[in-house]
Amino acid sequence: MPIDAPTFTLDTPFSRLGITVEDGRVVGIGMIPNAICVPPSTPLDHAIAAQLNAYCAAPGHTWTLSVDLRGTPFQVRVWKLLQKIPPGEVRTYGSLAAELGSSARAVGNACRRNPLLLVVPCHRVVAANGLGGFSGARLGRWLDVKRALLAHEHARRI
C-alpha cells in the first residue's frame, strides 16, 4: 500500500519504504520508490528503522514494533492471519479464505490494502497456480519486489 506523507523513509534492498508513525505506533509501511528521502528524526523512528533493517539482514527477524492495524474487521482478521505465516513459507489465497470462511478474492483485496508491508507479510500469499499479485499489481516491478522478498526469505515455493 503506498504511503502519501511518511514520517520518514528508509531505503531497503527491495524498495524505498515510507513509514508513518502516529501516537507512538506504526500505522503505515509502504513502497514509495521515487519519494524524496526523509530520514528518521526521533528515537522511535530510529528504533523502527533498526527493526526494518534487521528484517532486511535476516528474514527470520521477530517484529516487536507497536503497530495500529487500521482497516475493516475482516481486513484486520486477514492481516493478523498473515502475521502467523513464518518467513520462507507461503499460503494460497484460497487456503486463507477457507480458514476465514471467505473467498480468495476477498483475501486478495485485504492483502492489496495491507497498510504494513513486511510486518504484515502479504508477499507470502500466492495464487494456487502462480505468484498472484502484489500491491494490486499482477505484472511489473511490484511483482519483482514480491519475488525478491520471497527469495530473501528462501521461500520453498515461489
Q: Is residue 142 in some structural domain?
A: yes
**Full-model pTM:** 0.91
Phi first, then psi: what are they for 101, rounded to 5°? 70, 40
Interatomic CA distance for residues 107 and 81, integer angstroms: 10
Do 87 and 119 reside in the same domain of the chain? yes
Q: Is residue 29 in some structural domain?
A: yes
pLDDT of residue 3: 61
Catalytic amino acids? 122
Over residues 30-82, the pLDDT tens digits come to 999 888 999 999 999 999 999 999 999 999 999 999 999 999 999 999 999 99
Provide the residue range defining the domain that includes 31. 8-57
Do 33 and 99 reside in the same domain of the chain? no
Structurally, the chain folds into a number of domains equal to 2
Interatomic CA distance for residues 58 and 100, integer angstroms: 30
Looking up residue 93, the CATH number of its domain turns out to be: 1.10.10.10
CB 26 within 8 A of CB 65: yes
Do 80 and 44 reside in the same domain of the chain? no
Interatomic CA distance for residues 143 and 57, integer angstroms: 21
Phi first, then psi: what are they for 124, rounded to 5°? -85, 5
Residue 104, pLDDT above cutoff 70: yes
